[in-house]
Amino acid sequence: MAKYKKKRARELKHDKFRDTTMHVFDRLGDRLAGKGKTILYGIVGVLVLGAVIGLFVRWRSKKSDEARAAIGRGIAITQAPVSSASPVPGTPTARYSSEQERAQKAIEEFQKVEAKYGDPYRTEARYFIATNLLLVDRPKALSNLSELGKDSNKEVAALSKFALAQAKESDGSFDEAAALYRELASLKSDIVTVETANLRLGKALAKQGKKQEAVDLFFSIVEAARKAKDPEGNPAPQSQAARDAADELQKLDSVRYEQLPPEAPPNLPF
């Protein structure tokens, strides 16, 4: 009897749960009466939208991978060796007889990217085309770099300004080069650092015969780098630009070089 009561109590409790549940579903059914198709369409719409978004994400990822691989092929060409000798059979790396031939081949590869893919890959391809044009059609290259220096892609704009400044410097247009280097330094870009821009500016000033300005600039670069601290308060590692600035300063003014704060010893592991 006691067992029966317990069993029955469980059954009644179960029935009560069932009744309550069915009551909730009945109320929900009454509220949604006549709206079945609308709800069904809404659910189907959400599912379709999710599927479309998923397909788009996969397609976009595939296209991005393709674009990066295509840009990589162009960059590989720019790094291929230049040699008048015949290529060794079985050698996987292509060889070019001149820098101009190699640049033209790279341009053709990057033009494929420009024609097929959207940004940021199209703009990056245009930058690589412009830098390779410096060896093929210099006036056009300078024009393209000047235009890209105004692009909304900040990394490409900074790189284009830097390439243009270097081209102007090599052409002997030191005033124009210096102006571009100053502009780059003021941008405080991560892609062309302040130290790098000022290092190149110092070199341009030295070529202009403005030795004292160059010396002061090199000194300030190295002094700041040697005094810099990391978040833990330890001496921050120096960049290659800072080390190059120290070398330039030593060549221009050894006395001023000796006035630099001492270089911190490297952090050695224990």
Residue whose C-alpha is closest to residue 167's, from 196, 113, 130? 130
How many CB atoms sit inside 10 A of residue 165's CB? 27
For residue 11, pLDDT beyond 60: no
Q: Region 182-206: what's the mean pLDDT?
A: 96
216 touches 209 (CB < 8 A): no
Task: Assign 270 a pLDDT band (cuts: 50, 70, 90).
Answer: very low
Q: Region 82-111: what's the mean pLDDT?
A: 81
* Residue spans per domain, the chain: 68-81+96-148
What pTM was estimated for this model as a whole? 0.74
What does the mean pLDDT of the chain come to?
82
pLDDT number for residue 24: 46
Lookup: tokens for 13: 């409790």
Task: Assign 6 a pLDDT band (cuts: 50, 70, 90).
Answer: very low
Q: Region 201-206: what's the mean pLDDT?
A: 97
Helix (H, G, I), strand (E, B) or coil at 96: strand
More confident residue, 265 or 148: 148
pLDDT number for residue 58: 58
Per residue in 30-52, pLDDT (tens digit) is 554 555 555 555 555 555 555 55
185 touches 202 (CB < 8 A): no
For residue 245, pLDDT beyond 80: yes
- CA 44/CA 26 separation, integer angstroms: 24
Q: Region 187-206: what's the mean pLDDT?
A: 96
Alpha helix stretches (DSSP H) within the chain: 2-31, 36-78, 99-116, 121-133, 138-148, 154-170, 174-187, 194-207, 211-227, 240-252, 254-258
pLDDT number for residue 126: 97
Q: Region 209-237: what's the mean pLDDT?
A: 94
pLDDT number for residue 171: 96
Q: Region 169-184: what's the mean pLDDT?
A: 96
pLDDT number for residue 60: 56
Q: Region 158-178: what's the mean pLDDT?
A: 96
Buried b / exposed e over 215-244, threshold 16 CB at 10 Å, is bbbbbebbbebbeeeeeeeebbebbebbbb
**In this predicted structure, which of 38-42, 141-145, 203-207 has the lowest mean pLDDT?**
38-42
195 touches 225 (CB < 8 A): yes
